[in-house]
Structure 1
């Protein structure tokens, strides 16, 4: 080899080594964090399971903001309500993007709104969703929530052991009506099962160490599928997911054009598609994203609430006393909401005690920033540590105790609490922050109120017993793994509070069915529904 080439090779080698010398190190001025190792940084310390517990320990050790160096990537973790307010809310113009999630994007085909990076397409979708998810629109969907809730209560009477499935049908059917114009009438509906199973698989994939490694070391993405079986699995999940979401959309689109569709969000979506020319795949995922958001997280919160009622019977008794005093022998309605402060506390406490997104969905900062004297570099991932904030004993004494009385003096809605300039007054962080905050929170709050108030009015929730008659106490620390979570499966004994309560539930559902046709769909859509509000305009 000529001397010149040897010299060039040596120079390139030293240049490469020089560049690698800092990989894995925490640069001066970055937020503090656990000690790093060369090249890998903190990768070796990242837990494969129960990551929220380790993130909480680091929060206790390193304070309001810490950083993790993951190979060449930086992850900044926010651990206090004030840090979330200061960055994700007040500086939302630069903290509203998403980090790249390679496998998550493969499962989603690049179309899932949840993972979409900040830009014109995301802003267009956000504006469109606001039209049907704002607080005025949320009030108009109460007839849907009322009917679906009565259907759920009837299911609890007939098959109480399948309470999780009844809850999921309740939240799913509300959402399919809003988005596509049809009810989900059975807990055995195959599309209902596909939705929840598919979303669980998506959450599991995005929470794996393989997914994290591919995000941190993009060069590994060039490996063939036989060396990356999870990528092949993700591609398969995408095909199944697309078949469901785009299939729902195309069926509804055809019905709209035929004049047979009931009023729903997809009417607006079709107008937007005609005006802006986006694909059926994107339209399918916009409507599908609404479907999974409206179905899964509310259902998970309600499963957590059932577990809390089983584990904390004294809360159940106090809530039922309030229900009896205010409602007597009738089901509660939205008109009772102001007069049921303890039930409102149950809603807030359920989301605090069993948050469905333990570490939130990561944000990404789009330019260099500084906070508390620390540098936050452009493209850093930013996590808001929901679990650590919710379980902070200074913010919530005895945090693992389910105690709705924490909110005795808190009369805010979730939206008002999130917008409160005093960060300490925010009740919980399940709905996200900044421009990425869940636009459906007003609807979710009402769904939770209907479910919790009426479940407590109608039923007792007790510990189940095993074959030997021994009570089974659910382990409140056992949660599913992934981007979104819920309690691991547990049994519960659910019985009507009295024969009269059971009869009232049956009568209410029988009366409601008079509004439905032979296929259990609405004969006439209730008046006042907020649909067909789309108007092309400037994307803000």
Structure 2
């Protein structure tokens, strides 16, 4: 299906209903298209469906068995998942507010100074945030070696994980058939990716180890992790470096993709900007910027966050769940060895629940009171806001941090700026493609680079934003005041 996935997934859901099967190579794919099916199969029977299909390219060749996202269930997966979970709990996510606020202040001023570079400003924000959490290092400029290395890893990651790209993933037995290596460079390419990625993550790891030895390491989750008993948990040094590297991979692109998708949504629906301005002017006013404390009183901004996660989702192809036992659902047989997919496109483009689903329309969620985490935990699957974070034991552990970053930055963008179409040389609006064709090819639902005008709403708004950043720089960001939930003392438990 490759880049026709969205169109086909929606079409087949409407044709075949709650559950259907496809086949790729020797593998059966079971597609779940209702909240009820997901709640019953992925959530309630997660012990059967939380493993991963063995991925010869992504997991073995290109990750050396180190990437947790591809890792099948087992002791090592549970160990690493437990480490990552402590870093990303709701309590931990709230403790990162000073970092998020500091980086958001720079993002606002970056948009004031060079608004045409919004695409990269959003990327800098997300990369700097996750690197500070993991290693205590800021990235004040997008044009730096660290960001280049991180995004080079992400480019390679996208190449190895795209469904249908590698024949060996459709026919796993080819991985053990030596003649196949004579006609395909998959193994060589994968190993080259692994060597390059390992070099990047080991450079970060070795640097913080040296800083710890010298007594200069900044306060961070990584510092606590290095000082913990990671070796006693059965991890070698490269795996430990991949634990932190995996979090950087997951956190460096996700929020920026959704911030840029939000801009596309705003440009496609003119009334969104007006409604957001009205709410922020009424609740916050023009003398200060919105904060996390304003969230309960900003239902439209909250709705914008939920709607962008429904309308677009970072992982275009969703996540697979491998069936380790035979199972049944409403008389439908799910064989052991099948891949069970949450069909996000089919679910979130269901016109019965989301009328005109192709439109970015925050009002769908205006009265939705539950957070993403609360809706995941709700017994009633109809209360689930969206499925972009997955489900079961493989649900995205970073959703608490991501939701808070999206809320804060969308609120600040809407508070301080007008977002309009860029003009061509004749003064005509330059259109922005809000269809599926406007997404980049591959595994990420990021918008293709586009142009728009981002302009501050008034001199008063600009003054507030600039003063806030000046004051923030003068005060500085004190990482030592932040409690990293998964740091050394917690990991020894």
Q: Normalising TM by the smaller chain, what interval? A: over 0.9
3-state SS of 2:350 partner: coil
- The answer to whether structure 1 residue 501 and structure 2 residue 457 are counterparts is no
Deviation at 1:224, TM superposition (A): 5.8
Q: Which residue of 2 aligns with 1:110?
A: 65
Q: Is the contact made by 2:310 and 2:386 (CA closer than 8 Å) also made in structure 1?
A: yes
Q: Deviations over 1:491-540 (max 9, x none)?
A: 11111111221222111111111133xxxxx4663354544343445xxx
Deviation at 1:253, TM superposition (A): 2.3
**Which of 86, 92, 108 pairs up with 2:46?**
92
Q: Which residue of 2 aligns with 1:247?
A: 203
**Which of 37, 47, 50 pairs up with 1:83?**
37
- The answer to whether structure 1 residue 57 and structure 2 residue 18 are counterparts is no
Q: Which residue of 1 aligns with 2:245?
A: 288
Partners of 1:336 and 1:486 in 2: CA distance: 28
Partners of 2:478 and 2:395 in 1: CA distance: 35
Q: Which residue of 2 aligns with 1:157?
A: 112
- The answer to whether structure 1 residue 259 and structure 2 residue 211 are counterparts is no
Q: Is the contact made by 1:352 and 1:428 (CA closer than 8 Å) also made in structure 2?
A: yes
Partners of 1:112 and 1:485 in 2: CA distance: 21
Deviation at 1:254, TM superposition (A): 2.4
- The answer to whether structure 1 residue 309 and structure 2 residue 276 are counterparts is no
Q: Is the contact made by 2:321 and 2:340 (CA closer than 8 Å) also made in structure 1?
A: yes
Identify if the C-alpha distance between structure 1 residues 515 and 113 changes in structure 2 by more than 3 Å, giving closer, same or farther: farther
Q: Which residue of 1 aligns with 2:471?
A: 511
Partners of 2:244 and 2:380 in 1: CA distance: 35
Q: Is the contact made by 2:48 and 2:325 (CA closer than 8 Å) also made in structure 1?
A: yes
- The answer to whether structure 1 residue 415 and structure 2 residue 373 are counterparts is yes
Q: Decide which moves more: 90-99 or 267-276.
A: 267-276
Using the size of structure 1 for normalisation, the TM-score is 0.86
- The answer to whether structure 1 residue 68 and structure 2 residue 22 are counterparts is yes
Deviation at 1:481, TM superposition (A): 2.5
Q: Is the contact made by 2:168 and 2:174 (CA closer than 8 Å) also made in structure 1?
A: no
Deviation at 1:382, TM superposition (A): 1.1
Q: Which residue of 1 aligns with 2:356?
A: 398
Q: Which residue of 2 aligns with 1:322?
A: 279
Using the size of structure 2 for normalisation, the TM-score is 0.94
Deviation at 1:88, TM superposition (A): 0.7
Partners of 1:425 and 1:130 in 2: CA distance: 24
Q: Which residue of 2 aligns with 1:132?
A: 87
Partners of 1:280 and 1:135 in 2: CA distance: 28
Q: Is the contact made by 1:102 and 1:215 (CA closer than 8 Å) also made in structure 2?
A: no
- The answer to whether structure 1 residue 123 and structure 2 residue 83 are counterparts is no
**Which of 489, 492, 501 pairs up with 2:449?**
489
3-state SS of 1:370 partner: strand
Task: Tell me which of the two structures has the higher relative contact order, counting C-alpha pairs closer than 8 angstroms and 6 or more residues apart.
Answer: 2
Partners of 2:278 and 2:489 in 1: CA distance: 42
Identify if the C-alpha distance between structure 1 residues 101 and 509 changes in structure 2 by more than 3 Å, giving closer, same or farther: same
Tell me how many residue pairs correspond in the alignment.
486
Deviation at 1:65, TM superposition (A): 0.8
Q: Is the contact made by 1:161 and 1:492 (CA closer than 8 Å) also made in structure 2?
A: yes
Q: Deviations over 1:340-377 (max 9, x none)?
A: 01000011001001111233111101111111111111
Deviation at 1:225, TM superposition (A): 5.0
Return 5+ residue gaps in structure 2 as ranges.
none
Q: Decide which moves more: 185-194 or 165-174.
A: 185-194
Deviation at 1:149, TM superposition (A): 0.2
1:290-369 → structure 2 map (5 Å cutoff): 290-329=247-286, 330-369=288-327
Deviation at 1:98, TM superposition (A): 0.6
Deviation at 1:94, TM superposition (A): 0.8
Partners of 2:316 and 2:163 in 1: CA distance: 15
Q: Is the contact made by 1:358 and 1:385 (CA closer than 8 Å) also made in structure 2?
A: no
Partners of 2:94 and 2:379 in 1: CA distance: 25
Q: Decide which moves more: 390-399 or 501-510.
A: 501-510
Q: Decide which moves more: 251-260 or 414-423.
A: 251-260
Q: Decide which moves more: 340-349 or 461-470.
A: 461-470
Q: Is the contact made by 2:417 and 2:456 (CA closer than 8 Å) also made in structure 1?
A: yes
1:160-171 → structure 2 map (5 Å cutoff): 160-171=115-126
Partners of 2:424 and 2:156 in 1: CA distance: 30
Larger Rg: 1
Q: Is the contact made by 1:143 and 1:526 (CA closer than 8 Å) also made in structure 2?
A: no
Q: Is the contact made by 1:59 and 1:388 (CA closer than 8 Å) also made in structure 2?
A: yes
**Which of 210, 213, 229 pairs up with 1:272?**
229
What is the alpha-carbon root mean square deviation over aligned residues? 1.8
Q: Deviations over 1:105-163 (max 9, x none)?
A: 22222111111111111111111122221111111110000000001111111111111
Deviation at 1:439, TM superposition (A): 1.4
Deviation at 1:213, TM superposition (A): 4.7
Identify if the C-alpha distance between structure 1 residues 228 and 383 changes in structure 2 by more than 3 Å, giving closer, same or farther: same
Partners of 1:178 and 1:209 in 2: CA distance: 34
Partners of 1:162 and 1:187 in 2: CA distance: 10
Partners of 2:115 and 2:354 in 1: CA distance: 33
Partners of 1:434 and 1:100 in 2: CA distance: 19
**Which of 457, 462, 471 pairs up with 2:420?**
462
Deviation at 1:383, TM superposition (A): 1.1
3-state SS of 2:31 partner: strand
Q: Is the contact made by 1:359 and 1:384 (CA closer than 8 Å) also made in structure 2?
A: no
Partners of 1:132 and 1:92 in 2: CA distance: 22
Identify if the C-alpha distance between structure 1 residues 198 and 265 changes in structure 2 by more than 3 Å, giving closer, same or farther: same
